[in-house]
Structure 1
């Protein structure tokens, strides 16, 4: 099994040496070949490459760009898999072995990628190293092969993308219209998915990435290329690679179920389903549903979720009533003609304990106000038709009979001039609204205002008081088993309404164990132990659950 590692060079000899030296040092011999395509370097790169006996080289007489150069390398590659690797990376111990472990773990995995310190689209992780030596030590702790650290993705960034040869033979070479570079990896990712394969991000592979080494000297050129190629992508695929691939991380963090619980999630205007897919990576037992009117984006989302083309404002929804744990409106409400009506109508599809998760831009962010008073507020075909402040957000959810549990947001740090402008606004309205002026966007978690807890409180109190314990415990456990009662809700009710908390938690945990729901039981027992570590029954159950059996 051999991997063909393809690098493109255009000057930046220092980076190229670091990259190739790290490949030689941290990759098992006889498992790879290095192919370098040089795009007419003038800094000594060509001379250095010619002196390397273990590298296949192609020397272009002009800069052909990334997609064309990669295609040249692919055509002469002999490996079972092809690795497109930027020359401004430093690879690390076990990097290629771990990538291959994931790539060949299933027939339907078409390509895999690594995480790094500097990358777009959520492929970067936090790092604390200060030099290459510390980076290698950091990577050794990270690069321990584990399938639990593999995530399904909609796209992989091309700085490190390992692809099966059979996939390339099936879908063809990179699309050269994206030369000199950018969005060719987006395009290739979707062509792989369209061909029936999966993309996986390997979080058990970390490599260092300096990032855009060949573009750093001319940021305006880089920005222009991004704009041009983004438009090429939209013309080819029929959807926006930025808007329709957005992952609503802030809303995902508002989900309050445990990762092993079953949840039903509906996302309105889900695009290609990137948020839903990310939820599935975290909540393995999640059932995913989406609504999307862009047919091309919908086709991608349908590869892993139940997504339908529905006009949310004018068509009846085909879902069971009281079914969803979460309904997500990620930057949607501001584009609806009647968001209040939609919030009211969709409530019947939510469980009594269901939550709305919504992101809404703040119209009174200080930059918006400044642009407005200067006459510079830009409107286009994608401009919202409704505008929200903190007050209007509170009002619309209250009018729709939801109770807002949390409102967080994304804020900006104002400059000194911005602070003076904000002070002038505060003076004009005669109150301090600085915090509201700083928020660009709000993140809302609102629950169905129906009091679904009355019956649960009644049953828990009967268990506490030794009344029909077997019957009432069985009923509550069935509610948990059928995902009609989540553990956070249950524990909150117990905390606020029950005196003998550890007794009730132990009783429920025992019954959950009988149903082999050990992860659920362990959560309740851990809480019982916090409340009363001296409870012998809690101690016994916690010990027995490690062996997944009742003592």
Structure 2
């Protein structure tokens, strides 16, 4: 009898699954989401897929506009869960053999999803996350991958004061882009193509993160399970960084800096020994006071950031 039910389950699995589930998180980004959806429909051929949009409590008319769009499956969270948690909500309903986590502020420039799929199917080895070389509107290559965060690197990046830079204590990482493909620490969360089985084995986005570092931590787990994360040259995806938000430059800098720092604390807490994390948390907040030396940030935002740093961050 158990063999019978197992067979039925497998038949049902193949009946309801498809090749790729595209998951897009939306929070008040309807103005860029609509072109994103159009670009997917326009360029994606030769492969079956579904589009799942997870709305994080938008107030810009997204719900009204998306509710009547029969090209997508709409999930409403009713609140802003952040990037990782919202993607996990979409993953719960995804039917694809592969998952593409895609930012709402992206545009496909070619049949990127099919190219991802073909590469993943032919890859000789254990493939974790797959991403591409992202472009801006002018076709310039932009930030697409990185090294896993390291405490020493986080300390070094604050040594930007001219006298310290003259001592050559800080070295910017060398950015390399592959002619075909390259194994990297992590690919950015703007476009993450992952086999569903890898997510089931290693886990998806950690719920402790709201925004930033969640893809690094997830792909770090992929590495621990023996999977390689790969940057692929071939798919064309334009990333409209910064076009999703409406805040002022100074306020956005403080907000994003605070969120980035909080996420780094979570990342190191999850990936480093306790003693190293404690030492980092003790010393690092002092270095963050360098924000007061930034002439582009208003006094009010500097003060707000300082209060957030020493009062609000409780991990």
Q: State the TM-score bracket (shorter-chain normalisation).
A: 0.5 to 0.7
- What is the match of residue 177 of structure 1? 208
| Aligned partner (choices 82, 93, 102) of residue 85 of structure 1 | 102
CA deviation after TM superposition for structure 1 residue 42, in Å: 1.2
| Aligned partner (choices 120, 124, 135) of residue 143 of structure 2 | 120
Q: Does 1:229 align with 2:246?
A: no
- What is the match of residue 163 of structure 1? 194
**CA shift in 2, pair 1:103/1:29, >3 Å:** closer
| Aligned partner (choices 167, 182, 189) of residue 219 of structure 2 | 189
CA deviation after TM superposition for structure 1 residue 187, in Å: 0.4
| Aligned partner (choices 70, 75, 89) of residue 72 of structure 1 | 89
**CA shift in 2, pair 1:24/1:79, >3 Å:** same
Q: Which protein shows a greater Rg?
A: 1
Q: How does 1:455-474 map to 2 (within 5 A)?
A: none
**CA shift in 2, pair 1:213/1:221, >3 Å:** same
- SS of structure 1 residue aligned to 2:265: helix
For residues 48-99 of structure 1, the C-alpha deviation after alignment (integer angstroms, 9 at most, x for no partner) is 1111112111012111111110000001000000110000000121211111
For residues 307-331 of structure 1, the C-alpha deviation after alignment (integer angstroms, 9 at most, x for no partner) is xxxxxxxxxxxxxxxxxxxxxxxxx
Mapped to 2, the partners of 1:92 and 1:204 lie a distance apart of 10
Asked whether the 8 Å contact 2:27–2:57 carries over to 1, the reply is yes
- SS of structure 1 residue aligned to 2:73: strand
- What is the match of residue 198 of structure 1? 228
- SS of structure 1 residue aligned to 2:84: helix
CA deviation after TM superposition for structure 1 residue 101, in Å: 2.0
- SS of structure 1 residue aligned to 2:45: coil
Mapped to 1, the partners of 2:271 and 2:145 lie a distance apart of 22
Mapped to 2, the partners of 1:34 and 1:122 lie a distance apart of 24
CA deviation after TM superposition for structure 1 residue 216, in Å: 5.7
- What is the match of residue 238 of structure 1? 272
What is the aligned residue count? 221
For residues 360-384 of structure 1, the C-alpha deviation after alignment (integer angstroms, 9 at most, x for no partner) is xxxxxxxxxxxxxxxxxxxx68xxx
CA deviation after TM superposition for structure 1 residue 183, in Å: 0.2
For residues 17-43 of structure 1, the C-alpha deviation after alignment (integer angstroms, 9 at most, x for no partner) is 010000000001651100000011111
Mapped to 1, the partners of 2:71 and 2:53 lie a distance apart of 11
| Aligned partner (choices 21, 42, 55) of residue 38 of structure 1 | 55
CA deviation after TM superposition for structure 1 residue 9, in Å: 0.5
Structure 2: which 5+ residue stretches go unaligned?
A: 1-17, 137-141, 147-177, 277-282, 285-315
Asked whether the 8 Å contact 2:36–2:105 carries over to 1, the reply is yes
CA deviation after TM superposition for structure 1 residue 121, in Å: 5.6
- What is the match of residue 184 of structure 2? 153
Mapped to 1, the partners of 2:181 and 2:47 lie a distance apart of 26
- What is the match of residue 53 of structure 1? 70
For residues 510-542 of structure 1, the C-alpha deviation after alignment (integer angstroms, 9 at most, x for no partner) is xxxxxxxxxxxxxxxxxxxxxxxxxxxxxxxxx
CA deviation after TM superposition for structure 1 residue 103, in Å: 1.6
Asked whether the 8 Å contact 1:95–1:207 carries over to 2, the reply is yes
Asked whether the 8 Å contact 1:215–1:222 carries over to 2, the reply is no
Q: How does 1:84-103 map to 2 (within 5 A)?
A: 84-103=101-120
CA RMSD of aligned residues (A): 2.4
Mapped to 1, the partners of 2:145 and 2:74 lie a distance apart of 33
- What is the match of residue 439 of structure 1? none
- SS of structure 2 residue aligned to 1:176: coil
Mapped to 1, the partners of 2:246 and 2:60 lie a distance apart of 17
Q: After the TM superposition, which parts of structure 1 deviate over 2 Å for at least 4 consecutive aligned residues?
A: 117-123, 212-216
CA deviation after TM superposition for structure 1 residue 116, in Å: 1.2
Mapped to 2, the partners of 1:15 and 1:94 lie a distance apart of 19
CA deviation after TM superposition for structure 1 residue 47, in Å: 0.9
Q: How does 1:442-457 map to 2 (within 5 A)?
A: none
CA deviation after TM superposition for structure 1 residue 197, in Å: 0.9
Structure 1: which 5+ residue stretches go unaligned?
A: 124-146, 240-293, 295-379, 382-551
Asked whether the 8 Å contact 1:98–1:205 carries over to 2, the reply is yes
Mapped to 1, the partners of 2:246 and 2:256 lie a distance apart of 8
For residues 340-398 of structure 1, the C-alpha deviation after alignment (integer angstroms, 9 at most, x for no partner) is xxxxxxxxxxxxxxxxxxxxxxxxxxxxxxxxxxxxxxxx68xxxxxxxxxxxxxxxxx
